[in-house]
Amino acid sequence: MQVPNLNASQVDGKSASGLTRAAFGDTTSTFTLTGSYQPYGQVTINAPAAGYVVVNSAVTVGGPSCANGCVAEGFLQNQTTGISNVGSNSATAVPAGTFSDLSDTDVFPVQAGSNTIVYQISSATSGSGTTVQAISSHMSALYTPYDGNGNTPSAAAMSAKSNQSVQRPNALSQLSKQ
Per-residue pLDDT of the chain (178 residues; tens, 9 = 90+): 566 666 667 777 777 778 889 999 999 899 888 888 999 999 999 999 999 999 999 999 988 777 767 888 889 999 988 888 655 667 777 777 788 888 888 888 898 999 999 999 988 877 666 788 899 999 999 999 988 888 888 766 666 555 454 444 444 444 444 4
Residue 176 placed within a domain: no
Residue 3 placed within a domain: no
pLDDT of residue 129: 66
Q: Are the C-beta atoms of residues 60 and 101 closer than 8 Å to each other?
A: yes
Residue 8 placed within a domain: no
Residue 10 placed within a domain: no
Which domain covers residue 90, as residue numbers? Answer: 18-145
DSSP for the chain reads -PPTT---SEETTEEGGGS-EEEEEEE---EE--SS-EEEEEEEEEESSSEEEEEEEEEEEE-TT-TT-EEEEEEEEETTT--B-TT--EEEEE-TT-EEEEEEEEEEEE-SEEEEEEEEEEES--STT---EEEEEEEEEEEES--TTSPPPPHHHHHHHHT-------HHHHHHT-
Residue 9 placed within a domain: no
Give the integer Cα–Cα distance in Å for 10 and 7: 9
> In this structure, what CATH number is given to the domain that contains residue 75?
2.60.120.1340
pTM of the model: 0.79
pLDDT of residue 7: 64
Q: Are the C-beta atoms of residues 125 and 134 closer than 8 Å to each other?
A: no
Query: How far are the Cα atoms of 54, 85, 176 from residue 27, in angstroms, in the given order?
Result: 19, 21, 30
Residue 29 placed within a domain: yes
Task: Count the residues in the chain.
Answer: 178
Residue 45 placed within a domain: yes
Residue 177 placed within a domain: no
Number of domains present in the structure of the chain: 1
